[in-house]
Amino acid sequence: MQLFLSILYLLISLALALLITFSTTRLFIRAIRRKYQITPQNVSFAILLAAVIFSVGYIISGVLEPFFKMIDTVRFMEKSVTDAFFSIVKYGIIFVAVGFVVSFLVVLLGMYLFNLINTEIDELQEISQNNIAVGILVGVIIIVITLFMKGSIIFLLENLIPYPELPIRT
């Protein structure tokens, strides 16, 4: 049974990595590239996008541990395999969806706040003009903000997302 669970966790992790990477790329391109009319050949934007993908993926990777603990809890709690499966899917979707939204918003908020604090240049305008130095700088700033905030975000998510109720034994 443990080998099966290990393989299942591996497959879930791989599927989530692909889903999060693809979704982050699509959302960020829609949010930024079109607004600033950035061409696909813009290296500065690609650097920024890589930092955003890394940051969102890094935060979501922290959601996996509580998610896997929830799977173990549901497995022992539910009476039937069908009930356990649907509980795992329900809570899994909640974990990933809330985690993705919160992590993506934190990355965008960090970028926006840095842009507000730094009044000397408009970073996104510079990135749209393929200023690679600004793309690297903003990308590193996003990663550093993510490194500082991951623990707090995971703590927030663990308290926001309802865990299954454990039965009380009398």
Q: Using CA atoms, how far apart are residues 93 and 161, in angstroms rounded to an integer?
A: 11
Query: Of 16-20, 158-162, 166-170, where does the model show the most confidence?
Result: 16-20
pTM here is 0.84
pLDDT digits (tens, 9 = 90+) for 15-52: 999 999 999 999 999 888 778 888 889 999 999 999 99
Q: Is the pLDDT of residue 161 over 70?
A: no
Cα–Cα distance measured from residue 108 to residue 115, given in angstroms and rounded to the nearest whole number? 11
pLDDT tens for each residue of 92-150 = 888 888 888 888 888 888 888 888 888 888 898 999 999 999 999 999 999 999 999 99
Nearest residue to 111 (alpha-carbon basis) of 153, 49, 156: 49
In the structure encoding, which two tokens stand for residue 144, read together? 């550093």
